[in-house]
Structure 1
Amino acid sequence: MANFPSLKLIDVCKVSPPPAAAVVPSSLPLTFFDLLWLRFLPTQRLFFYEFPSNEISFHDVIVPKLKSSLSLTLQHYLPLAGNLVWPSQSDVPVIEFHEGDGVSMTVAESDGDFYHLSSNGFRKVSEFHHLVPELPVFHDRAAVIAIQVTKFQNEGFSIGITHHHAILDGRSSTSFIKSWAQMCIEESSVPISEQMPLYDRSIINDPKDFAKLYAKAWQDIEGPNNRSLNLKFPKTIPGLIRSTLEFTHQNIQKLNEWILNKKIKNENFDSSSSDISSFAIATAYLCVCTAKLEGLKEGELWFVFAADARIRLKPQVPLNYFGNCLVAGFVRLERFELLRENGIIFACDEISKAIRNLDGGALNGCENWGSIMSQLTYDYSETQAISLAGSPRFGVYNADFGFGKPKKVEIVSAESPYFFSLTDSRNSDAVMEIGVVKERDEMEAFVAIFNQGFESI
C-alpha cells in the first residue's frame, strides 16, 4: 500500500482464526455465480465511527478488541482467511484455507478531517484511497479480504474493508461484518444462528455446467488457458468528486403519489400496477436526472442492476448462503421518453417490468453471462450503462462494534460517474442514501437537478 503524506502506518499484522478451530470447509469451489466476478475490481467499504468518549484508548482498547473478535469470527468464516487459487487439475478456481492463514489488518493514523470525510458534502474521491487497504492479489493466488483500521486526531476512526467480489456478494459481506461487530460486543465465539454462513455448494443447481463454461470464458481472455487471478481495474479519472444525496420518506411518497395520480387519469390504468417499490421509484428518478444532465434527446440510456437470486431461484436458496448469488436486470430507456413530462413514469414502468421478469425467470439467458462479463471486465470503457452498488436492504448502519452505529458508510469502489451506490441511512427521515461520483461541474448540476425535481412536482 502506498504511504500517503496524511497517513502514518502503525502496524500491519495477520489475524488468524483460533488454532484447530476449523468448523467450516477448508476448501470451497467457486460456483458460476462467483465466476462472473473472477477478475472484477474488488469491493471497498468504509465505515466511520466517532469515539464514544475520550477515555477509550484507540490503541489499547479499540484495536485489540477488533483483532480478537475478528479472530473469533473467522472460525465461522474460514474461507475469508484463505486464498483463491486455480489448481491445474481443477476446472474452476477454489478457495483454500491452510493452518496459519489469516487476514491482513493494517492499523494507521490519518491527519485527515474526520467530519469532512464522513459528511454528505463534496469530497475528492482521492481522499478516501488511503483509508481502504489494497487486496493482495497475484497471478497464482489472491487474498479474499483485507482490513484497515485508521484513527483520526481524537475524533473517530474508520474501518476499511476490501473484499474479492468473486468470493462475496453484498449480502454475504454484510453478514460477515455484522457477525464481527456482534462478536466484538459480546466477546463470544458463537454468533447468532441467523448469521451463521451456509457453505453447501450443492444448493446452487448447475446441471448444464455453467461454472465450467464461465471459467473457460476467462481462460480464453488473453489465453489460451489463462488461469491468472490478477484483477482488472478501470482507468482512473482524475478530479472526481464524491457526494451523498438522500431519498427521504417524503420524497418517495411525493413521487409515488404523483405517479399514481397521473396513471389514474389514464383510461388504460391497471390497478395492479399501483404497488410501486421504493427501489423502482428511486432508480427511475436517478435515470431521469442523468438524462437531464447529459441533455441528449436521441439514443438510449441503459440501466443495469443486480438483484439477489436467493429468493428467485427454484428451490429458493437460504438467505445465509455464503458466496455470490446475484442476477442482473437490464433496462433500455429511450432518452426522449425520459425527458418528457412523464419520464419518471416511463422509467418506473420499465424498471418494474425488469424486476418482474427476474422474478419469473432469474436465469434466463445465463448461458451468455460468462462471456459478456469477461469481455466487459477487460474493457470497462465499453460499459456506459448506469449501474448500482450496494443496497439499502443490507442495513450497514446497524454494524455497531460496541462503539455506536457508524456515522457514515461509503462504498469507495463505486468510483465512476456511471455508478450510484445505495445504502440505508442513519437518518430516520431517509429511506436510502445515494452515493454519487462525478466531476465537480457535473456534480453541481446533478445535485441541482435532483433537488429541483422534487420541488417541481
Structure 2
Amino acid sequence: MANFPSLKLIEVCKVSPPPTAAAPSSLPLTFFDLMWLRFHPIQRLFFYEFPSNEVSFHDVIVPKLKNSLSLTLQGDGVSMTVAESDDNFYHLSGNGFREVSEFHPLVPQLPVSHNRAAVIAIQVTKFQNKGFSIGISNHHGILDGRSSTSFIKSWAQICIEESFIPTPKQMPLYDRSVINDPKDLAKIYAKAWKDVEGPNNKSLNLKFPQTKHGLVRSTLEFTHQNIQKLKEWILNKKIKNENFDSSSHISSFAIATAYLCVCTAKLEGLKEGKLWFGFAADARTRLKPQVPLNYFGNCLVGGYTSLERFELLSENGIILACDEISKAIRKLDDGALNGSENWGSMMSQATNDYSKIQAISLAGSPRFGVYNADFGFGKPKKVEIVSAESPYVFPLTDSQNSDVVMEIGVVRERDEMEAFVTIFNQGFESFFNDQHWDHC
C-alpha cells in the first residue's frame, strides 16, 4: 500500500494587531473591489529552506512570524495555522511535475460565510528539518496582487527589524476617495452580483472552480537569452516584411505571452476559430488622476485580444500575437475604463461557472518581486500561485535566478504537460538555430 504524505496540525490561533494600531475600522468597497466580490481566493505559497539546523522552527521561526505579523496588521486579526508535513520539501519546491492536489494541505481555507468574509488567512508548515512554507489565502474582493505583495513584504521587513518604520510611500493608503466613480459603477456591479442568483442575493459566499483530478503543475522559465533571441527574430522578420510595423517597442511581457499563445495553439492542434487571451493590468498609473502605487485595495483593469488559430500556427504566428497583445496594452493606456459598464456582469457570470472561461489568462506578475520576500531566513526557494489550477491560467512571477526574466506556471493533465513542455523547449531551439518554428 502506498504511503501518502500526512499533515499534522500543531496550532490554530488568531494573531491580532497591537492595541496602538490605527487603521480605519471599516472601508467601503469601490467598483474595482466589487468586480472580484465572490471570486475564488488567491492562494500563494512561499517555500524557505532552513538557514541552519540550529534555528528552531517552533521556538524561533514561528514566534518571530507571529510577532511581526501582529505588528504588520492594522485592522482585524488574522487566522494563523501551524502545521508539520512529512511531504518532500525539495519535490514541492522544485520546477518538475507535481500533482496540484499536493499543495492543497499547505494553504489555509479562507473563513467565509453568507454574511461575513475574512480578508487573509495564513498557514506556516514545517517540512521535517529541510525547510518551511508560508501559505497565504487572500480575498480578491479586498486586495489585488500589488496590495497583497506589499503586505507580505512589509511583514517580512518587520520580521527582520521590529523597529522598521515605513516611509510614507511604503505605508498602505486606505483613502477610497482616490478612486473616481463618475459612472456609478459600484452600484452597477453590486446589482450584477445580486442578480446572479437573485433576486437581491446579498451572499458573500465565494465561488470556487471545479478542479479536475489528475492535473499536474510545472514551472517553465523565460531566460534573458530566450527573450532576447525571440525579440531579435521578430525584429528581423519585421524589417524584411513591409506588412509588419517595426517601429513600435516590443515588451518582454508581449513576447512571453505571445509565445505562450502559440505554444497553446500548437498543443491544441488544428482547431477552427479564435484563441482568446485576456490579462489583468494595474490601473494605478493608467487612471486620470493617477492612483498612488501604495493604494491598498483592488485597482485592476482587463485587456484582451483574439487570435486566429490558423495564423498562430503559421511561421509568423508569434509576430501576429505579439502585435495584437501590444495593441491591447496600448488600448488600456489610452482608455483604461473603456467598456467598464459591462465588467461587473461579465465577472459575475464567469465566476458563476468558471468552466465557461475558455480564454487564456494570467495570474500574478513578475513585477511584484515576490522572491524578495525575505523574513530573515533567506529569500524564497520557490513561490507558487496555488489557486491557479486551470490549464487556461498561467501564473507569472519573477525568479530567484538572475538569468531568468520570469517563471511561468503551467497546469495540465500529465500527457498534455509533457507535450506542452516539449513544444515550449523546442520552440526556443528552433529560434536559436534560426529555423522556421512551424517545422518543429
TM-score computed with the length of structure 1 as normaliser = 0.92
The percent of aligned pairs where both chains have the same amino acid is 85
Letter in 2 for 1:367: E
1:143 match: secondary structure: coil
CA RMSD across the alignment:
1.0
CA distance in 2, matches of 1:50, 1:5: 19
Q: Give the structure 2 partner of residue 346 of structure 1.
A: 320
Distance 1:223 1:270 in 2: 49
Equivalence for 1:374: 348
Cα pair 2:21 2:73 within 8 Å, conserved: no
SS of 2:113's partner is coil
1:28 alignment partner, SS class: coil
- One of 420, 432, 435 as aligned partner of 2:394: 420
User: Is 1:138 the equivalent of 2:113?
Assistant: yes
Counterpart residue number, 1:96: none
Equivalent residue number for residue 173 of structure 1: 148
Q: Is the 8 A contact 2:238 2:246 kept in 1?
A: no
Q: Distance in 2 between matches of 1:121 and 1:271?
A: 37
**Alignment of 1:156 onto 2:131:** yes
1:113 corresponds to 2:88: yes
Structure 1 equivalent of residue 253 of structure 2: 279
Which position in structure 1 is the counterpart of 2:379?
405
Q: Deviations over 1:96-118 (max 9, x none)?
A: xxxxxx10000000000000000
Counterpart of 2:435 in structure 1 is: none
Query: What is the aligned partner in structure 2 of residue 95 from structure 1?
Result: none
Q: Distance in 1 between matches of 2:116 and 2:354?
A: 23
The yes-or-no answer on 1:304 pairing with 2:303 is no
- Aligned-residue offset at 1:270: 3.5
Tell whether the 8 Å contact from 1:183 to 1:191 is kept in structure 2 after alignment.
no
Measured after TM superposition, the shift of residue 69 of structure 1 is 0.3
CA deviations on 1:270-319 (whole Å, 9 max, x unpaired) are 4422x200000000000000000000342110000000000100111110
How much does 1:222 deviate? 1.1
- 1:174-193 alignment to 2 at 5 Å? 174-188=149-163, 190-193=165-168
In 2, the alpha carbon distance for the partners of 1:280 and 1:145 equals 32
Residue 29 of structure 1 aligns to a residue whose secondary structure is: coil
1:436 aligns with 2:410: yes
> Matched residues in 2 for 1:270 and 1:330: separation?
20
For residue 172 of structure 2, the aligned residue among 187, 197, 200 is 197
SS state at 1:303 partner: strand
How far off is 1:207 after superposition? 1.4
Question: 2:79 aligns to what?
Answer: 104
Q: Tell me the distance in 1 between the aligned counterparts of 2:245 and 2:258.
A: 19
Q: Which runs of 5+ in 1 are unaligned?
A: 82-101
Contact 1:72/1:189, CA 8 A, preserved across alignment = no
| C-alpha deviation, 1:190, in angstroms | 2.9
1:387 — aligned with what?
A: 361
1:333 corresponds to which of 292, 307, 310? 307
Question: Is this contact kept in 2: 1:297–1:339, CA < 8 A?
Answer: no
**Residue 86 of structure 1: aligned partner:** none
The range that moved more, 334-343 or 294-303, is: 294-303
Distance of 2:244 and 2:98 partners within structure 1? 44
| CA distance in structure 1 between the partners assigned to 2:5 and 2:86 by the alignment | 9
Equivalents in 2 of 1:129, 1:234: separation in Å? 14
Residue in structure 2 matched with residue 42 of structure 1 by the alignment: 41
Q: Which runs of 4+ in 1 moved over 4 A?
A: none
User: What corresponds to 1:94 in structure 2?
Assistant: none
- The Cα shift of 1:371 comes to 0.6
In structure 1, what is the equivalent of residue 332 of structure 2?
358
Structure 1 distance, partners of 2:59, 2:245, is: 62
Deviation at 1:268, TM superposition (A): 4.4
Equivalent residue letter for 1:216: K
TM-aligned CA deviation for residue 189 of structure 1: 5.8
Contact 1:171 1:394 in 2 (8 A): yes
Do residues 9 (structure 1) and 14 (structure 2) align? no
Amino acid at match of 2:423: I
Letter of the structure 2 residue corresponding to residue 63 of structure 1: V
1:322 aligns with 2:296: yes
How far, CA to CA, are the matches of 1:450 and 1:296 in structure 2?
18
User: Residue 13 of structure 2 aligns to a residue in which SS?
Assistant: strand
* Alpha-carbon distance in structure 2 between the residues aligned to 1:191 and 1:57: 29
The number of residue pairs the alignment matches comes to: 428
Contact 2:116/2:204, CA 8 A, preserved across alignment? yes
String of CA shifts for 1:16-51, please: whole Å, max 9, x gaps. 0012x2322111010000011101000000000000
CA distance in 1, matches of 2:123, 2:29: 26
